[in-house]
């Protein structure tokens, strides 16, 4: 009799456990997968999607999107995607994200759609600056593009996506106002931002800075990218003639060049700025808001 009862109990437990397991797996399976090319876009997507979607990012924190070469594991990651998200405007050097998505047959959304790009004149060539997330107003456009794409994919989650997006847009708006207040402490004539590469044009335009960089819009070999002796000479001259107090290295670019320029021009390196990539998990710059906040504090501390 005891054996019989034991057998019955085991079978019942097995049945209930199998049922619970099925439910759990079902819930996991229903989650959509969004694969973003850059850390900024992954953060925007997480803010909109919350726990309703799984957000994966191809670039690791600190990686350079201009020069990145996709690995076989990236193709595997993209193959799991319901939707791919890229920056566009050739930030992803040689269009690596669009190529990955195309090869995997996955839909892709360009988050800079609708943004009025700054056009750079690079030695007679016109190039659209891809670093548009550096103005909070543009970041709001990224978020709006992501919301629209996710709503098409998962209309059942509309209320949640919209509520999350509205909260995040408010955070961006507060961030924008806070940045303007912080920079108010730097005299307008001292607002000169010298960084490793030409990534801060949108930032400079939004917050009243003059921007100088020894390396063009891309750290790669695209048109107008890379370092030229002419650019380098111009940067050193600008630093000297405008009495710049400090210049900045970037987390995703080798700091050697900026350190050399600082020595040559006789100025300090004011700190490290997050540029094409955000910080690693656990750092203050692991989110867009944190990245912008830390950059602003570094700039204010060095230039005030």
Partner 1 sequence: MRILGALLAWVVIAGGVHLYLERRAPPPPPEAYVERKAQGVYALEVTPSFGLAPDAFALDLGDGDAKPALVVKLKGKEVLRETKKLEAGKPVLVSPLEGVVIGLNEFYVSANPPADTINRANAVRVRVLRDGQALDGAEQTLWSVAGTAVEGTFTLTVPEPAAPKEDDAHGH
Query: Which x/- pattern, by CB under 8 A, does the window 14-53 give for partner 1?
Result: -xx-------------------------------------
Residue 241 contacts by C-beta under 8 Å, 6 or more apart in sequence?
Answer: none
Residue with smaller CB distance to partner 1, 60 or 174:
174
DSSP string, 193-232: EE-SBS--HHHHHHHT-EEE-SB-S-SSSSTT-SB-HHHH
Residue with smaller CB distance to partner 1, 53 or 169:
169
Bridge partners (DSSP) of residue 215 are 197, 227
CA distances for 180 relative to 85, 88, 134, 154, 194, angstroms: 30, 27, 13, 37, 19
Least Å distance, CB 202 to partner 1, is 14
Residue with smaller CB distance to partner 1, 142 or 248:
142
Q: Which of 165, 213, 267, 278 binds partner 1 (CB under 8 A)?
A: 165
Residue 215 contacts by C-beta under 8 Å, 6 or more apart in sequence?
Answer: 196, 197, 198, 225, 226, 227, 231, 253, 257
Total residues interacting with partner 1, rule: CB under 8 A? 28
Residue 8 found at the interface with partner 1 (CB under 8 A): yes
Least Å distance, CB 166 to partner 1, is 5
| Apex 136 CA angle, 193 and 34, nearest 5 | 120
Nearest to 275 by CA among 155, 129, 156: 129
Q: Which of 176, 212, 272, 276 binds partner 1 (CB under 8 A)?
A: 176
Residue 172 found at the interface with partner 1 (CB under 8 A): yes
Site for partner 1 in 236-295 (CB under 8 A): none
Query: Which x/- pattern, by CB under 8 A, does the window 180-199 give for partner 1?
Result: xx--x---------------
CA atoms of 115 and 112, how far apart (whole Å)? 5
Residue with smaller CB distance to partner 1, 170 or 256:
170
Q: Where are the beta strands (DSSP E) in the chain?
A: 32-36, 53-57, 83-86, 108-110, 119-122, 125-128, 192-194, 210-212, 246-250, 268-273
Residue 119 found at the interface with partner 1 (CB under 8 A): no
Residue with smaller CB distance to partner 1, 208 or 243:
208
Side-chain-side CA neighbours of 150 within 13 Å: the count stands at 33
Site for partner 1 in 131-150 (CB under 8 A): 136-137, 140-141, 144, 147-148
Least Å distance, CB 148 to partner 1, is 6
Q: Which residues bind partner 1 (CB under 8 A)?
A: 4, 7-8, 11-12, 15-16, 136-137, 140-141, 144, 147-148, 151, 162, 165-166, 169-170, 172-174, 176-177, 180-181, 184
């Amino acid at each position: 009799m005891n054996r019989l009862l034991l057998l019955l109990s085991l079978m019942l437990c097995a049945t209930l456990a199998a049922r619970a397991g099925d439910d759990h797996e079902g819930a996991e399976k229903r989650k959509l997968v969004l694969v973003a090319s850059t850390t900024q876009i992954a953060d925007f997507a997480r803010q909109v999607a919350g726990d309703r979607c799984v957000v994966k990012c191809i670039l690791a924190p600190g990686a350079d999107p201009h020069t990145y070469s996709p690995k076989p594991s990236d193709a595997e990651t993209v193959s799991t995607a319901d939707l791919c998200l890229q920056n566009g405007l050739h930030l992803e050097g040689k269009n690596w994200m669009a190529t990955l998505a195309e090869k995997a047959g996955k839909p892709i959304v360009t988050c800079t759609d609708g943004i009025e790009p700054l056009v750079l004149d690079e030695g007679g060539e016109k190039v659209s600056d891809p670093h548009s997330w550096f103005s909070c107003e543009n970041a709001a456009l990224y978020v709006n593009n992501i919301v629209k794409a996710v709503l098409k994919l998962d209309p059942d989650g509309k209320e949640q996506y919209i509520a999350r997006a509205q909260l995040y847009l408010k955070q961006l708006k507060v961030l924008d106002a806070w940045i303007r207040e912080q920079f108010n402490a730097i005299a307008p004539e001292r607002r000169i931002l010298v960084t490793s590469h030409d990534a801060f044009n949108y930032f400079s335009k939004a917050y009243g800075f003059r921007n100088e960089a020894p390396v063009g819009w891309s750290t790669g070999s695209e048109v107008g990218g890379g370092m030229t002796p002419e650019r380098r000479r111009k940067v050193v001259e600008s630093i000297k003639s405008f009495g710049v107090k400090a210049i900045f290295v970037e987390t995703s670019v080798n700091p050697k060049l900026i350190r050399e320029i600082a020595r040559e021009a006789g100025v300090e390196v004011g700190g490290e700025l997050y540029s094409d990539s955000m910080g690693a998990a656990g750092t203050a710059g692991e989110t867009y808001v944190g990245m912008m906040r830390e950059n602003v504090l570094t700039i204010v501390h060095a230039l005030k």
